Amino acid sequence: MTYEEISHHRLVSQKLYKTDQCSPQQIVRHLGAMQAQDYAMAKWAIGSRCDASEKEIEEAINSAQIIRTHILRPTWHFVSADDIYWMLDLSGPQVQKMTISAVKKYGFDIKKLDKTINSIEKLLPGNTHLTRDEIMQELDIKRTSKEDFLSAAIMMHAELDGLVCNGKMKGKQITYALLEERVKKPKTNFTKEEALAKLAKRYFESHGPATLLDFSWWSGFSPTICKKAINAIELQISSADINNQTYYFTSQGSNENSFRESVHFLPAFDEILISYKTREASFLSDHQTKVFTNNGIFKPIILENGKVIGIWKRTIKKDHAKIETEFFNETENSKKEILFEGIKSFEKYLETKVIIE
């Protein structure tokens, strides 16, 4: 297997070829968890893989078919309502180690943190949806500066406890609501080993071919734990070696008949890059600094046949969206016109005119 083959397989497994009709929730469920700290761009990560508009995706989020919460790693993710409870049971305790450590800087021990979480629970019954600032105001917790991480850490801890999740948007503001009022708790529970195996299978189905270290990075679990999860599903996945690295994948993501010429304008922090520890299959090392910064800020990318060839940004105007592009190599205008065909799906998603500059 070559890096080119890996990049093509990933386009299939990540559903960027749109070979079948999927709803927004089905896309999120397939991918397991989609990084979503940049809310506007994260919605497009879903939209780029299905034919839903931004409004339809927002409706799926507001109606709790898709949950936006902290899970796996200490950052926002989209998760399907079908998966939220078992994934939280699995990854919540490990990510909470970070939130517990963070609040100590503000004089919160575990007893005080638990008392604060209990107070939040009393604020939200009856489908009450409050912003973080509204909750902190009720708790009489004042923000001392823009850099104050206390309120964010408290709410993250409450999310990881399975107490709260995103509520309905209040204008452009994110709200919180009680998770059990948004999503019914399932009757079936998994052991940690069962959940890890389920997570591993989901990851390699939706992100393969990928390595052990890729899965460890994405899931937040140590390589030792991830290796055990891979061993548990070894009869359900395939593998191939390249440069002394073993890549795992499932047969459903390796249909060579699905490969074709393609151009994708993908959002910042898209799973096609963010979900892998190393990214040799997607771009040349010379271009790394243009794709993401040293402190982990990923930019929107232009992908041609699985390879990053440039970056782009959007500016939303009153009656249109302006798109600006930067290609890594000199590109002829005739070639650009072909590449810009890839932006048509974004125009449909936004339901507004797109102007390229």
Measured in whole angstroms, the distance separating CA 241 from the mean position of its chain's CA atoms is 27
Average pLDDT of the segment spanning 210-229: 98
Write down the pLDDT at residue 64: 97
Same domain, 4 and 42: no
Same domain, 52 and 11: no
Percentage of the chain exceeding pLDDT 70: 96
Same domain, 228 and 176: no
Average pLDDT of the segment spanning 62-71: 97
Residue 316, strand partner residues: 321
β pairing state of 66-71 and 73-80: antiparallel
Say how many domains are in the chain: 2
Mean pLDDT of the chain: 92
**pLDDT at 129 > cutoff 90:** yes
Domain that residue 202 falls in: 1-19+189-356
Write down the pLDDT at residue 285: 66
Write down the pLDDT at residue 205: 97
Segment 141-189, tens digit of pLDDT: 987 665 678 999 999 999 999 999 999 999 889 999 999 999 999 988 9
Same domain, 250 and 328: yes
b/e for 228-243, b at 16 or more Cβ within 10 A? ebbebbeeebeebebe
Same domain, 140 and 71: yes
Angle between helices 84-104 and 192-207 (to 10 degrees): 100
Domain boundary (138, 157, 182) is at: 182
Same domain, 46 and 174: yes
Q: Which residue has the tokens 């930019």?
A: 299
Write down the pLDDT at residue 19: 80
Write down the pLDDT at residue 41: 93
**pLDDT at 342 > cutoff 90:** no
Number of neighbouring beta carbons within 10 Å of residue 171: 6
Write down the pLDDT at residue 271: 96
Write down the pLDDT at residue 252: 60
Same domain, 102 and 240: no
